[in-house]
Amino acid sequence: MAPSLKKVEGLTYEAAFKELEGIVAALEAEGNPLDESLSLYERGQALAVHCAALLEKAELKVRQLGADGLSDFEGQA
């Protein structure tokens, strides 16, 4: 794993899920020392929990792009 691990809480769903898949692949490759596998696993669990939470609270965000830039879109039913 790269030393520059980002905080799980700050990751987008896409980034977190991608990293989770990378961790699964790394564990699948075998040959990791057990302590490394354990920290991979812990990181993976944290990512999975984060992803699940993002799915849980996901709410479609709609903004409007007009001539004067982005603004909240109010016309939602």
Partner 1 sequence: MLQPSLFEIPRLSVTEFTRRVRRLLEGDPALGDVWVRAEISNFSRPSSGHLYFTLKDPGASLRCVMWRSDALRVRGLDLQDGLSVEVHGKITVYEPSGQYQLVVDTLRPAGAGALFAEFMRLKAMLEAEGLFDIERKREIGNFPRVIGIVTSPTGAALQDMLNVLRRRLPLAQVILAPAPVQGAEAPAALVQALKRLNDQAQPDLILLARGGGSIEDLWAFNDERVVRAVVASRAPVISGVGHETDFTLVDFAADLRAPTPTAAAELATPLTILDLAGALRSDRQRLDDLLNRQIDQERARLESINMELRFYSPARRLQTEAQRLDDLTHRAARALTHSLALETAGLRSLSRRLEALSPLAVLRRGYAVVTRPDGGIIQAASQAPVGAELHVRLAQGALKVKVNQSNMEET
Report, in Å, the least distance between residue 1 CB and partner 1.
Answer: 14
CA torsion 21→34→9→22, rounded to 10°? -20
Binding-site residue total for partner 1 (CB under 8 A)? 39
- Binding characters for partner 1, 7-36, by CB under 8 A (x = yes): -----xxx--x--xx-xx--xx-x-x-x--
Instruction: Tell whether residue 75 is a contact of partner 1 (CB under 8 A).
Output: yes
Residue (of 34, 36, 35, 29) closest to 1 by Cα position: 36
- DSSP SS3 for 5: coil
Contact between residue 11 and residue 19 where contact means Cβ atoms under 8 Å apart: yes
Catalog residues that contact partner 1 under the rule CB under 8 A.
Answer: 12-14, 17, 20-21, 23-24, 27-28, 30, 32, 34, 37-38, 41, 44-45, 48, 51-52, 54-55, 58-67, 69-70, 73, 75-77
